[in-house]
C-alpha cells in the first residue's frame, strides 16, 4: 500500500492505494469521479483520457503511484460552475455524442489537441483532427459530428 497525494481538478487529494492500482481506478473508486470511463483492456479506446500536468494521457495505462505529485484534470474539472467548457458546449451543440460512453475521453483529447495546436501555431484542420483522434474509439457516431464539434470549439477558443 502507498499513500498517493496529487492535485485533481485543482484540489489536493490523497488516498491509500495498492501500488498496482490504476489511475483510473483511483479516480473512479477512491474519488468517485466516475466521468472517466474504461472502455477496453488494451489501451486502445481512449475512454479513460485525462490530463496529467496538462497533457492527455490514458489513465488506464498509468498507475496511481506513477501519477503521485502530478496535477490531474478530469472531465469533471472542465466546466466553470454551470458554464460548460467551450469543447463541452460544442459537443452538445453539434450533437457530438450518442450514448456518451466515449465522450469524456473524446472531450479531454479534444481540449489537449486544441491547446497543443494553439501553442505551436499549427493549423487544426479536419484531416489533422481525424488523425489526432487515432486513440479514441466511438461505436455510435461515425465521428462526423465529433469532428464538427472540435472544429467549432477550436474556432470558438481562437
Partner 1 sequence: MYEVNYHRATSVEEAAALFAKAGDAKFVAGGQTLIPTMKQHLAAPSDLVDLRHITALKGITVSGGQVTIGAGTTHAEVAGSAQLRSACAAICDLAGHIGDPAVRHMGTLGGSIANNDPAADYPAAMVALNAAIRTNKRTLAAEDFFTGLFETALEADEIIVSVSFQAPAKCAYAKFPNPASRYAMAGVFVARGTDGSVRVGVTGAGSSGVFRHSGMERALAANWSTGALDNVSVDENMMLSDIHGDAAYRANLVKVMAKRAVAAAG
Ligand X SMILES: Cc1cc2nc3c(=O)[nH]c(=O)nc-3n(C[C@H](O)[C@H](O)[C@H](O)COP(=O)(O)OP(=O)(O)OC[C@H]3O[C@@H](n4cnc5c(N)ncnc54)[C@H](O)[C@@H]3O)c2cc1C
Q: Report the C-alpha gap between 50 and 127 in whole angstroms.
A: 23
Closest of 57, 71, 85 to residue 152, by C-alpha? 85
Query: What is the H or E stretch that residue 150 is in?
Result: helix 144-156
123 binds partner 1 (CB under 8 A): no
Considering only 7, 44, 98, 128, the residue that binds ligand X (CB under 6 A) is 44
CB of 158 to ligand FES, least distance (A): 26
2 binds partner 1 (CB under 8 A): yes
Q: Which lies closer to partner 1 via its Cβ, residue 83 or residue 119?
A: 119
CA angle 47, 50, 52 (to 5 degrees): 150
Pair type for strands 55-58 and 49-52: antiparallel
Q: Report the C-alpha gap between 83 and 127 in whole angstroms.
A: 30
Per CB under 8 A, residues contacting partner 1 are: 2, 18-20, 22, 41-44, 46, 49, 52, 55-58, 60-63, 65-66, 68, 109, 112-113, 116, 120, 132, 134-136
Per CB under 6 A, residues contacting ligand FES are: 38-40, 43-48, 58, 60, 97-103, 138-141
Amino acid at each position: 500500500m502507498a499513500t498517493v497525494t496529487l492535485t485533481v481538478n485543482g484540489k489536493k487529494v490523497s488516498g491509500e492505494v495498492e501500488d498496482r492500482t490504476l489511475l483510473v481506478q483511483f479516480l473512479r473508486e477512491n474519488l468517485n469521479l466516475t466521468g472517466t470511463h474504461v472502455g477496453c483492456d488494451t489501451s486502445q479506446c481512449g475512454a479513460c483520457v485525462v490530463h496529467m500536468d496538462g497533457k492527455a494521457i490514458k489513465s488506464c495505462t498509468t498507475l496511481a503511484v506513477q501519477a503521485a505529485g502530478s496535477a490531474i484534470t478530469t472531465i469533471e474539472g472542465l466546466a466553470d460552475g454551470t458554464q460548460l467548457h467551450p469543447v463541452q458546449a460544442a459537443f452538445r451543440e453539434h450533437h457530438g455524442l450518442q450514448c456518451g460512453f466515449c465522450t469524456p475521453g473524446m472531450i479531454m483529447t479534444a481540449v489537449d489537441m486544441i491547446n497543443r495546436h494553439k501553442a505551436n501555431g499549427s493549423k487544426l484542420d479536419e484531416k489533422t483532427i481525424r488523425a489526432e483522434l487515432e486513440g479514441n474509439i466511438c461505436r455510435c457516431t461515425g465521428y462526423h459530428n465529433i469532428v464538427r464539434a472540435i472544429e467549432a470549439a477550436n474556432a470558438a477558443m481562437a
